[in-house]
Chains A and B, each alone.
Chain A
Amino acid sequence: MSYFRAENLSLHFGGLKAVDAVSFAVEKGEILSIIGPNGAGKSSIFNLISRIYRPTSGRIFFEDQDITEEPPYDIARLGIARTFQNIELFENATVLSNLLVGRHRHSTTQLWQELLFLPSVRANEKVHRRRVEQVIEFLDLEPYRDKLISGLPYGVRKVIELARALCSEPKLILLDEPSSGLNVEETDDMSFWIRDLKNELGVTVLMVEHDMSLVNRVSDRVIALNYGRVLTMGSPAEVQHHPDVVAAYLGA
């Protein structure tokens, strides 16, 4: 049984089939990239997995559990974290509190305990804070701890989003275009980090990406989509030279 599996996943907006009977599986510990032209349905698949959209039909399984009907906030609790294409950070909060929100799925304290800030809350906060510090160190975010997001450059925000997802200690992480808007050096850093995610933290990565050099460097397997359908699946080299993929990008 696969670690993560989508079966005949469809998302229709009226007559438009954004995602059309897509099936794929992710093995534990691999990096799987989804590529495809604009509007191919890549981000829609992510939004289906994190339950921002409700699938028209099809099922999603994670660790042999059907998660198609789980409410959105439980997806994170199951160990699936994500980043967004256009950065969805908490603008008017500090980097630290952004990352601490990532720890939300691990919080166990009750409201009344928090109002009194009982020793148990304090102890929990320290644990969260230590975990956040580990992620900060992993992604070299030390200079930004107390900065507000609204004052930070785009490249840093992109890394902070990855950091926030990592703070939830996910088993599977969904990266929606991790390199969009980044310059060459920042993209290089990102590719190292994505590989470290897999090698050091043992996180499984599902990634949507346009930058083919990044895809080639980090992916174990690639899925190519067009018009909501899977064109082909395989190693990065195979997929790139597949005639259907070439046709989708360059025209037949």
Chain B
Amino acid sequence: MRFLFKTDYEDDIRLFPHSGYFVSYGLLLAVLLIAPYVLSSYVMSQLVFVCIYATVGVALLILTGFTGQASLGHAAFLAIGAYTAAYLQKYNVPFPIYFLAAGVLTGLIGAMVGFPALRLTGIYLVIATISFALIVEEILARWESVTNGNEGMRVKAVSLLGVTVSRDSPTFYFLCLAVLVLTIVGTLNLLRSPTGRAFVAIRDSETAARSMGVNVALYKVKSYAISAAITGFAGVLFAHKLSFISPEMFTLQLSIEFIIVILIGGTFSLHGAVLGAIFIVMIDPFLTYLKDDMPGIIAGVAATFGAGTQSAANVQSKVAAFASLNGLKGAIYGIIIVLFVLFEPLGLYGRWLKIKLFFQLFPLYKRATFKRQKIYVKSERNR
């Protein structure tokens, strides 16, 4: 175990507290940089989605994890970013400009959504953001002159400095990775400066934040704007990756997926967004596996244990029918959320920290270290 001996105020400010971080993050970066030349194109495609989901996850963490404002409307921000890109691309606007424009426009709309949030808390705020998402979805379907309605829009490949970057090329992956890394670094910078601390203050006690001089309304709107802008950037990449966008891609289920990203990853640290993104992107291959291979395997196991050909085939068709049920994905999402909230509210990253601590303290780890307890002294009077 390493004991940090701080000798300078710089020690509390720098992003990497000690040299070990350079080694581990350097290795991670090296692996990510050589990945496109080693891994298959399918895995690379999944990695691009991990980058995009993680970017949205970081955006949602700023809003929900650090400012404490719930949002089930991030699919709408993603859609606004994606459609801005698709629309401006039609008029031959270059990539860097429509990329920025998408972020700025989404940020402005995010700030507008932030205003009702000033008066709403908890479940009411969630309902307000859901209705915002539904309104956007409806506008996308109806405003045909701009969005092409339910027929959707084609998105051509990125054209960067005169070079066409195909959506499956390593360059596009590096672009997504760069956006993710820049987002994370920017967010970390924000969190170690007055604005980030004001966000955390608002999350934990609005009254105290106010009496310490934090303009709560202004910072809530700022938080919404930043979160929406980042999601807008991610939306541009999302549109390019899919090369086709239509309103039914940006449904409530996508917003819930983003919530799952941070809930499963862990809401207290940016690591959570990345871990959660990896998890959520892996669900689709898992479902495919469930559909394609699982029935055969279970039938095989049944046959090994003495089931006749007839009954084994029967089992296989039953399992196959179950695996291709409509809404199975939603049910799996629901179960995952419930299990994580019940058993690991700190998410995957929290679990990882516990495992790390176990080995650091081995054999002195106490089982009750992370035992949850209720705290009764908190007052709700001055909300």
Q: Which residues of A contact B (CB under 8 A)?
A: 47, 50, 52, 71-77, 81-82, 84, 86-93, 96-97, 100-105, 107, 109, 111, 114-117, 121-122, 125-126, 129-130, 133, 150, 154, 164, 168
How distant is the Cα of A97 from the Cα of B10 in the complex, in angstroms?
A: 15
- Could you list some 11 contacts between A and B, CB below 8 A? A52-B211, A73-B216, A76-B212, A86-B379, A86-B381, A90-B201, A101-B201, A111-B222, A111-B226, A121-B193, A133-B9
In the complex, are the beta carbons of A52 and B207 less than 8 A apart?
yes
Besides the known contacts A84-B382, A105-B213, A125-B192, 14 further A-B residue pairs in the complex with CB atoms under 8 A apart: A50-B211, A73-B213, A84-B207, A96-B12, A101-B214, A104-B201, A111-B222, A114-B195, A115-B190, A121-B189, A125-B9, A126-B10, A129-B12, A133-B9
In the complex, are the beta carbons of A122 and B13 less than 8 A apart?
yes
Partner of A76, one of B10, B193, B213: B213
**Which of chain B's residues 339-383 have a Cβ closer than 8 Å to chain A?**
375, 377-379, 381-382
In the complex, are the beta carbons of A104 and B214 less than 8 A apart?
yes
By size class, the interface of chain B is 35 or more
Q: Which residues of A contact B222 (CB under 8 A)?
A: 111
Contacts A101-B197, A115-B189, A121-B193; A81 near B212 (Cβ below 8 A): yes
In the complex, are the beta carbons of B212 and A168 less than 8 A apart?
yes
Q: Which residues of A contact B268 (CB under 8 A)?
A: 92
Q: Which residues of B contact A81 (CB under 8 A)?
A: 211-212
In the complex, are the beta carbons of A114 and B189 less than 8 A apart?
yes
How distant is the Cα of A105 from the Cα of B201 in the complex, in angstroms?
A: 13
Contacts A101-B201, A129-B9, A168-B213; A88 near B194 (Cβ below 8 A): no
Number of A-B contacts (CB under 8 A): 126
In the complex, are the beta carbons of A76 and B195 less than 8 A apart?
no
Q: Which residues of A contact B12 (CB under 8 A)?
A: 96, 129
Q: Which residues of A contact B309 (CB under 8 A)?
A: none
Contacts A87-B377, A114-B189, A116-B189; A102 near B200 (Cβ below 8 A): no
In the complex, are the beta carbons of A90 and B9 less than 8 A apart?
no
Residue B318, interface by CB 8 Å: no
Residue B281, interface by CB 8 Å: no
B186 to chain A, nearest CB (A): 5
Q: Which residues of A contact B198 (CB under 8 A)?
A: 101, 104
B14 to chain A, nearest CB (A): 10
